[in-house]
Amino acid sequence: MFMRCGRNKKLHIRLLVFVFLLVWLVFYLKLFNSKIVSEDERERALLALKYESTLQDYESKIVPGLGDGGEPAVLEGDDQVEGEKSLKSFALNVVLSDKMPLDRRLRDPRNPRCKDFTYNPKIKASVIIIFYNELLSVVLRTVWSVILQTPSHLLQEIILVDDCSTNESLKGLLEYYISTRLKNYNIRLVRLLNRMGLIRARLQGARVATGDALVFLDSHCEATVQWMEPLLARIEEDKTAVLVPIIDVIEANNFAYSTNGEVVFQVGGFSWAGHFTWIDIQKEEDKETMNPVQSPTMAGGLFAIDRKFFWDIGSYDEQMDGWGGENLEMSFRIWQCGGKLETVPCSRVGHVFRDFHPYSFPDNKDTHGINTARLVEVWMDDYKRFFYMHEPSLENNPVIGDLTHRKQLRQKLRCKSFKWYLNNIYPEKFVPDENVFAYGQVKNRGEYCLDDLQLAEGKVGPLGLYVCHPNLAMSQYFSVSSKGELRKENFCAEVHNGYSVELTECHGHKREQYWIYFINGTIYHPSSNKCLTTFEVETGKSVLVEKCKKSRYQYWEFTHVNHS
């Protein structure tokens, strides 16, 4: 009994000790935990205090009315000097942007006819804005313009995707701004743990989006009145339509909202070098009606798409790194795989076009080139040959990476050929070796060739002569088109002052851009009644037109001549 009792007593003591320990542990943990929480809270409070004062400081410098209506804004004194300086380092006027109200109102830039349309969409949009080390005021102005110009019943959410910016103050201030000044709006900030490049950043945004439609914007845009309604209305009408607004220019130096004067808007094209270009609308009625107009390609940064269709049609090529190429990839894919791409003239958004990227890329890789090589392999069939003439080093280069999934996608979606795309969607695109009288290198005296002398895209310059390259490079690739143009992509040889020969934009109206290539080797220019000539000077600016005569300096040989 005693023994048993003694054993019981021991048991009680043990139990007591155990309970005591347990209670102590619980208290300790609670205490410890509360210590963490309180420290965390204190830190947050301190940070908030810091951010609050920085923001207030920042807000106090804003000049009401500056840049209102989209008028050019002017700085004076030191601000002007600093502003100009920042243009060189940041590609936009930082001082000015920081002083301009974040919620500035722009004038209605639309064609007056747009006011006759009524839109009543029922679907909602997730607006996705990606950014990497952008200027806070520019990002916030983008966000405010979306909030102020989008009816709340059409806006599901704004998703900001930070592509792992390294600017800590931008990150902290932006987060704080959202949680205080923008707390009444549904804004989500997604932070990527690694720099993923703009293509994968957009994909991450799309993955968390919940709206019926996705609307992508660059982080230096300003939306204008009724921009969203026509985009959503068109998607509601046709889920396979992908829409781009007219992209107006916000000048990087003075933030003027510029609508390109009276010039009718343009749609998207491409160059064989793999760049996006602006092109004129072909059908006259499309310039007038203000209805959505077919566009062969899109610039890339600003577009609206049904969320389900975005995934069904293959979202993006996730193996595309950095910057560039995704816009043409998506454009070709949409058209070839059963969708349509349209510019909506009654939706207008401004974008700050910058002269250079104010950010660098990891490893200095030519991501535009590599991404473009990926897309030409998947979507352009044999027409990829023209791209590789511009970028020979990328042909069969393993840096392009594996394409299996994208090729499978093309099969799965039963997409049409690139030839179909050219014939049906972009018939005006000049193909250097199709429907032409002659093409290839144009040789004189066996070793010299017509050459564009590295004329940059979009520039005007003399038609020249250079030693023939052993392989046909694009700089020496000319065609005599069915319209009688001596042509290189969009550049035509044109006679100036009845003497010199310049490469300028093709206008399609013959006259001084009209040539006849005779089988005897002369290239005759009817409007001056002269022949393309070179002389003893061997390279450079040595091509002109002169009186036709039998001379080896007027004898030109194309690599390919179509005898028909």
| Contact set for ligand UD2, span 185-204 (CB under 6 A) | 195, 197-198, 201
Give me the helix-helix angle, 404-412 and 367-379, nearest 10°: 40
92 binds ligand UD2 (CB under 6 A): no
Strands 257-258 and 340-352: unpaired
Q: Which window, 125-133, 310-318, 426-434, 534-542, contacts ligand UD2 (CB under 6 A)?
A: 125-133
Tell me: does residue 146 bind ligand UD2 (CB under 6 A). no
134 lines the binding site for ligand UD2 (CB under 6 A)? yes
Could you give the CA distance from residue 103 to residue 555 in angstroms, rounded to a whole number? Answer: 65
Q: How far is the CB of 338 from Mn ion (least distance, A)?
A: 29
Stretch that binds Mn ion, among 130-138, 218-226, 238-246, 290-298 (CB under 5 A): 218-226
> Interface mask (CB under 6 A) for ligand UD2, residues 357-376, using x and -?
x-x-----------------
Q: How far is the CB of 485 from ligand UD2 (least distance, A)?
A: 30
User: Stretches 92-100, 102-110, 322-330, 335-343: which one binds ligand UD2 (CB under 6 A)?
Assistant: 322-330
Q: Which of 244, 350, 334, 340 minimizes the C-alpha distance to 298? A: 244
Residue 307 CB, nearest distance to ligand UD2 (Å)? 19
Beta bridge partners of 503: 461, 493
C-beta closer to ligand UD2: residue 156 or 327: 327
Angle between helices 168-180 and 2-60 (to 10 degrees): 100
Residue 350 in contact with ligand UD2, rule: CB under 6 A: no
As measured in angstroms, the least distance from the Cβ of 162 to ligand UD2 is 8
Is 321 among the residues that bind ligand UD2 (CB under 6 A)?
no
The beta strand positions in 356-510, using DSSP E, are 436-444, 448-451, 461-462, 464-467, 478-481, 486-488, 491-496, 500-505
Structure-block tokens of residue 366: 């030519």
Q: What residue 198 binds from Mn ion, ligand UD2, none (CB within 5 to 8 A, per partner kind)?
A: ligand UD2
Which residue in the set 132, 477, 491, 558 belongs to the binding site for ligand UD2 (CB under 6 A)?
A: 132
Residue of 301, 440, 462, 484 interacting with ligand UD2 (CB under 6 A): 301
Cα 158–Cα 204–Cα 130 angle in degrees, nearest 5: 50
Element (H, E) at 86: helix 77-90
C-beta of 195 vs 487, nearer to ligand UD2: 195
Q: Is residue 226 near ligand UD2 by the rule CB under 6 A?
A: no
Residue 553 contacts which entry, Mn ion, ligand UD2, none (Cβ below 5-8 A, type-dependent)? none
Q: Does 218 bind Mn ion (CB under 5 A)?
A: yes
Report the alpha-carbon distance of residue 152 to residue 2 in Å, rounded.
81
Q: How far is CA 224 from CA 72, 350, 401, in A?
A: 17, 8, 40
* Shortest Å distance, C-beta 166 to ligand UD2: 11
Instruction: Supply the minimum distance, in Å, between the C-beta of residue 200 and Mn ion.
Output: 17
Residue listed under structure tokens 């694009």: 474
Q: Which stretch binds Mn ion (CB under 5 A): 212-220, 391-399, 401-409, 415-423?
A: 212-220
The yes or no reply on residue 326 touching Mn ion (CB under 5 A) is no
Q: Which of residues 429-488 bind ligand UD2 (CB under 6 A)?
A: none
E-strand stretches of 68-124: none
End-to-end CA distance of the chain: 124
What is the phi-psi region of residue 305: left when phi exceeds 0, alpha when psi lies from -120 to 50, beta otherwise? beta
Q: How many CB atoms lie within 10 A of CB 427?
A: 9
Question: How many whole angstroms separate alpha carbon 169 and alpha carbon 350?
Answer: 26
Q: Rounded CA gap, 129 and 249, in Å?
A: 18
Which C-beta is closer to ligand UD2: that of 38 or that of 166?
A: 166
Phi, psi of 534 (to 5 degrees): -125, 175
Contact between 348 and ligand UD2 by CB under 6 A: the answer reads no
> Does residue 247 bind ligand UD2 (CB under 6 A)?
yes
Spatial CB neighbours of 143, under 8 Å, sequence gap ≥ 6: 129, 158, 160, 182, 187
Q: Is 510 left (phi over 0), alpha (psi -120 to 50) or beta?
A: left
Binding string, 149-168, against ligand UD2, x = CB under 6 A?
--------------x-----
Q: How many residues does the chain have?
A: 564
Q: Are 474 and 273 in contact (CB under 8 A)?
A: yes
Binding segment for ligand UD2 among 71-79, 206-214, 323-331, 522-530 (CB under 6 A)? 323-331
Shortest Å distance, C-beta 199 to ligand UD2: 7
Our CB check for Mn ion shows the closer of 352 and 380 to be: 352
Q: Which two tokens stand for residue 457?
A: 């895209």
Q: Which does 357 bind (CB under 5 to 8 A by kind): ligand UD2, Mn ion, none?
A: ligand UD2
Cβ-based neighbours of 102, under 8 Å, separated by 6 or more: 62, 137, 140, 141, 144
Residue among 302 and 463 whose Cβ is closer to ligand UD2: 302
Query: With respect to Mn ion, which residue has the nearer C-beta, 323 or 388?
Result: 323
**Shortest Å distance, C-beta 91 to ligand UD2:** 9
Among 93, 315, 327, 522, binds ligand UD2 (CB under 6 A): 327
Q: Can you spell out the DSSP letters for 54-69?
A: HHHHHHHT--TTTTTB
Binding site for Mn ion (CB under 5 A): 218
Binding site for ligand UD2 (CB under 6 A): 130-132, 134, 163, 195, 197-198, 201, 218-219, 247, 299-302, 322-324, 326-327, 351, 357, 359
